[in-house]
Amino acid sequence: MYERVLVAIDHSEISKRALAAAASLASLSNGEVWVLHLREREVIPRMGLVADESVGEVRNTIYGQAAREIVDDAKLHDVGVIVMGSRGLSDLTGLFLGSTAHKVIHLSDRPVLVVR
């Protein structure tokens, strides 16, 4: 079905379900899962990215750019589907808060599976 699956995680409980769903999809065709974890950082003029404690290897991105990077990685690795979790915000709340999942759905040229 999908030979390459990208799963975007943020170390939440929902991310564990998204990772399991991605593994299940990939196993249908003996495919592979590409795991991506982005940490959004605020940018303060003259200070650049504001860092905090990091746990493990993660890639930093500027606040508000995670969706674009997820979509770009999906293209770069030629994945068949993007899998990610949703915190379950309503469409209205997601619109005002700029939900990453909503942005990925609108920016992506490939299927997006949102796990709740």
Contact between residue 68 and residue 38 where contact means Cβ atoms under 8 Å apart = no
CATH of 4-115, one of 3.40.50.1110, 3.40.50.300, 2.40.50.140, 3.40.50.620: 3.40.50.620
What digits encode the pLDDT tens for the residues 27-77? 999 999 999 998 877 666 665 544 444 363 368 998 889 999 999 999 999
Residue 32 identity (one-letter amino acid):
E
| Average pLDDT taken over every residue of the chain | 83
**How far out from the chain centre does Cα 113 lie?**
11
Backbone angles phi and psi of 113, in degrees to 5: -100, 115
Tell me which of 10 and 92 has the higher pLDDT: 10
DSSP secondary structure string, 84-97?
A: EE-----HHHHHHH
Where in the chain are the domains? Answer: 4-115
Q: Give the confidence band of 13 by pLDDT, cuts at 50, 70, 90.
A: confident
What's this model's pTM, rounded to 2 decimal places? 0.79
Strands (E), 19-104: 32-41, 43-44, 48-49, 59-62, 81-85
